[in-house]
Amino acid sequence: MLTRFFLIVMLSLGLTGCGILGPRYNKIEVKDTEVVKIKIQEELLVPCVPEKPLSKEDYLKLQPHERESYLSGYSIGLLGTVKDCNIKLKKIKEFSDAQ
């Protein structure tokens, strides 16, 4: 029993190598640290907020053709908001890549 234990310990030490023959890493010394703050343009920080839709009551007061026209215009307005946000994100990405 003791010989098995000894044999298992020796085999595991032999397979792992105990870190003796492993690669040696040089220590990196950090001498100076510097904090860098990057100012992002104020126009890129403005949140993209879509316009508020009509209330349910006001929407139901419209005629059927007016409802369709309103929904088309509102959808186009939302797509414009998404486009503006995508342009802002692209500018932020370009700004961070330039740094």
pLDDT score at 7: 80
pLDDT score at 73: 94
Q: How far apart are CA 39 and CA 41, in angstroms?
A: 6
Above pLDDT 70, what percent of the chain? 89
pLDDT score at 20: 60
pLDDT score at 33: 86
For 10-45, the pLDDT digits (tens) are 777 776 765 566 566 778 888 888 887 777 788 878
Structural domain boundaries in the chain: 41-99
HSE, side-chain direction, 13 A CA sphere, residue 76? 6
